[in-house]
A and B are shown apart, each in its own frame.
Chain A
Amino acid sequence: MTSYAADRTRRIAVHILLIAGAVIMIMPFLWMLSTSFKSFADSMKVPPTLFPMEWHFDNYAKVLSTIDFGRYYANTIVVTVGRTVGQLLLCSLAAYSFACLKFPGKNIIFLALLAVLMVPSQVVMIPSFVIMRELNWLDTFYVLIIPGIFSAFGTFLLRQFFMTLPKDLEEAAKIDGCSYFRIYWSIYLPLSKSALVSLAIFTILASWNELLWPLIMTSSEDMRVLSIGISTFQGQHSTDYPLLMAGAVMATLPIIILFIFLQRYFIEGIAMNGIKG
């Protein structure tokens, strides 16, 4: 009985600590949300109020009329989908080859691939800029999508997963005369949904949130992705916080909604692989 009581106290203590921490973690979001509905004067009030005096839903309409948010969304979605689909296909194909097929020089090539992981992205930034300029890719979708498809991290992650799958299935399929591509496509891919989903999540997140690459590689208004759009918007309305916060809410919301749907995979995927994409 006493141990039950002690357990209860312990649980309540854990709840209290977790709630206190959670409040700190989500306070900035609540503040962002609340400010986004305030009038300009209201946002400058001292002491600040947690809830808006009156709800200005028109802040959102104002943001949409000042900047081409639709365009930024469309660009970001095209880039994110392109990179994610490309990466899932090409990296899984290479990963299958590294995990299951025998060919001379495999280990050396794989080692070279791991070496790519160790070079910080800033190191390749300047020569990449030149390569993109020579290819005439600057300020196009190519520059935003294509280099992002080739991922040493994605190949490594999927290869590790494929290595854990039993070999018997593959042997059986070979005896039945399946081609290697068939084995990859109809056996390995369907068995690897969880690993593919976690790679997709890493890629979506990296691509949606990326700043430095699009900042350097694009310049025209038409090619702005959300992160760039929002940062220019911030430059233009540096003090109008209700508008800025409305913009921030709009940029963040899609990924948070996606996260809530995929949260099981998100957290499992990260716990499983550890590394950020």
Chain B
Amino acid sequence: MSIQAASAKHQPDIPVKKKRKISRLAFHEAAWGYLFILPVALGLAVFYMAPSAASLFLSFTTWDGMSSPVFNGIDNFVQLAGDEKFVRSLLNTLLYTVATVPISIALAVILAVLLNQKIKGMILYRTLYFIPVITMPIAVGMVWKWLYNSEFGLINFVLGSLHLPQPNWLFDEKFALFSIVIVSVWTSIGYNAVILLSGLQGISASYYEAASLDGAGTLYRFFRITLPLLTPSLFFVLVMSFINSFQVFDLVFIMMGQQTSLLDSTRTVVYSIWEDGFKYFNMGYASAEAFILFIVILVITAFQMYFQKRWVHYQ
């Protein structure tokens, strides 16, 4: 009787116990889950999220970085709208981006197609084309500054011997930004080409076989098969190139920043942020500039995302 009662009492207990065991396991798993993400979450919160929020706050203040910030509403933004230097830097950055991105991507497409051929020495070629990507931007800037040197530089020597005009590349308002565009294209082709190459290698050979059975020529195949099927990679490269271009700083700093005065035509937004924030200690003002840059990048990226369905073909 007592045994029966005990077992009867015991019987309904089992599912409850099982349930509790499961929830204990789930709890155990969740605890470890939180523990594992804790360092990264904490670090990102302290070093990225908190500063991002603070930056937004600071952009509405006047602040020299030492005394306490003084709230000034939208003064910084109003002032920025009328600040010729800043507007110019925004236009320069835009011009730089619009020149660099299409040239670099067009050349990278050609390069990727060439690198996708089955010929000898491919590893060597890929390595050579990739070297500019990995080189320290400082060293890149220094070498190009030397190449651009108006009297002793290699570029003007070559132009001179071809009886072409020899501009004073880095010191002429008309050429200075363009000189930086050339260097940026040179450093980014290899990187873009590698991404596009992986896109090319994902295109099934059967498309080409079908096309050659139909007697399609090389150009036809390129424009009707390769290019459309490459659009997902192209889209990725385009978005990333825009984001990177808007943040250009290193090349300008090293090629131009150490001249006695920076040419107005080469001041970029990030250079302005650095100059206002850390040279003149107008940190509230510089935060507002950074915030505007962020919005510009966000809008352009959103725009690209929105228009991708017009031209990107996902297989």
A and B associate? yes
Chain A residues within 8 Å of chain B by Cβ, number = 97
Contact of A22 among B50, B125, B197 (CB under 8 A): B125
Contact of A126 among B147, B243, B277, B301 (CB under 8 A): B277
Contact of B258 among A116, A234, A256 (CB under 8 A): A234
Cβ B36 vs Cβ A101 within 8 A:
yes
Q: A120-B297, A126-B283, A259-B131 are in contact. Are A93 and B143 (CB under 8 A)?
A: no
Cβ A231 vs Cβ B47 within 8 A:
no
Cβ A22 vs Cβ B128 within 8 A:
yes
Which residues of B are found within 8 Å of A251, using beta-carbon distances?
Answer: 136, 138-139
Q: Would you give the shortest CB distance from A104 to chain B, in whole angstroms? A: 7
Complex alpha-carbon distance, A91 and B161, angstroms: 55
Flag the segment in B12-20, B95-103, B151-159 that touches A.
B151-159
Which residues of A are found within 8 Å of B31, using beta-carbon distances?
Answer: 103
Cβ A25 vs Cβ B190 within 8 A:
yes
Complex alpha-carbon distance, A187 and B249, angstroms: 42
Complex alpha-carbon distance, A255 and B130, angstroms: 12
* A135 to B, closest residue via Cβ: B46
Which residues of B are found within 8 Å of A123, using beta-carbon distances?
Answer: 51-52, 55, 287, 290-291, 293-294
* A12 to B, closest residue via Cβ: B119
Which residues of B are found within 8 Å of A116, using beta-carbon distances?
Answer: 44, 48-49, 52
Q: Would you give the shortest CB distance from B293 to chain A, in whole angstroms? A: 6
Contact of A97 among B33, B161, B258 (CB under 8 A): B33
Q: Would you give the shortest CB distance from A251 to chain B, in whole angstroms? A: 5
The interface residues of chain B, by DSSP majority, are classed as: helix
Indicate the size class of the contact surface on chain B. 35 or more
Whether, in the assembled complex, A226 has its beta carbon less than 8 Å from a beta carbon of chain B, the answer is yes
Mark out the residues of chain A between 73 and 121 whose CB falls within 8 Å of any chain B CB in the assembled complex: 90-91, 93-94, 96-98, 101-104, 106, 109, 112-113, 116, 118-121
Cβ A47 vs Cβ B157 within 8 A:
yes
Flag the segment in B79-87, B109-117, B221-229 that touches A.
B109-117
Complex alpha-carbon distance, A126 and B37, angstroms: 27
Cβ A102 vs Cβ B33 within 8 A:
yes
Q: A270-B195, A274-B236 are in contact. Are A227 and B138 (CB under 8 A)?
A: yes
Cβ A32 vs Cβ B37 within 8 A:
no
Complex alpha-carbon distance, A104 and B27, angstroms: 10
Q: Would you give the shortest CB distance from A69 to chain B, in whole angstroms? A: 14
Cβ A271 vs Cβ B197 within 8 A:
yes
Cβ A126 vs Cβ B58 within 8 A:
yes
Cβ B146 vs Cβ A124 within 8 A:
no
Indicate with 1 or 0, residue by residue over B287-310, a CB within 8 angstroms of chain A CB atoms.
Answer: 100110110011001000000000
Which residues of A are found within 8 Å of B132, using beta-carbon distances?
Answer: 25, 28
Whether, in the assembled complex, B204 has its beta carbon less than 8 Å from a beta carbon of chain A, the answer is no
Contact of A103 among B30, B121, B157 (CB under 8 A): B30
Q: A116-B44, A216-B278, A248-B138 are in contact. Are A31 and B30 (CB under 8 A)?
A: no
Q: A212-B274, A244-B142 are in contact. Are A119 and B134 (CB under 8 A)?
A: no
Q: A44-B152, A271-B197, A272-B198 are in contact. Are A211 and B293 (CB under 8 A)?
A: no
Which residues of B are found within 8 Å of A28, using beta-carbon distances?
Answer: 132, 140, 143-144, 147, 186
Which residues of A are found within 8 Å of B60, using beta-carbon distances?
Answer: none
Contact of B136 among A48, A255, A274 (CB under 8 A): A255
Cβ A48 vs Cβ B157 within 8 A:
yes
Complex alpha-carbon distance, A241 and B247, angstroms: 28
Shortest 3 CB-CB contacts between residues of A and residues of B = A150-B43, A271-B198, A103-B33
28 contacts between A and B (CB under 8 A): A14-B117, A17-B114, A25-B129, A25-B132, A28-B143, A44-B151, A90-B40, A90-B43, A91-B40, A93-B37, A94-B40, A101-B36, A103-B29, A113-B41, A118-B301, A119-B52, A121-B247, A130-B65, A208-B136, A209-B137, A212-B250, A216-B274, A234-B138, A234-B142, A235-B258, A248-B136, A255-B136, A276-B244
Q: Interface residues, chain B, CB within 8 Å of chain A?
A: 26, 29-34, 36-37, 39-41, 43-44, 46-52, 54-55, 58, 65, 111, 114-115, 117, 119, 121, 123, 125-132, 134-140, 142-144, 146-147, 149, 151-152, 154, 157, 161, 186, 189-191, 194-195, 197-198, 236, 240, 243-244, 246-247, 249-250, 253-254, 258, 270, 273-274, 277-278, 283, 286-287, 290-291, 293-294, 297-298, 301
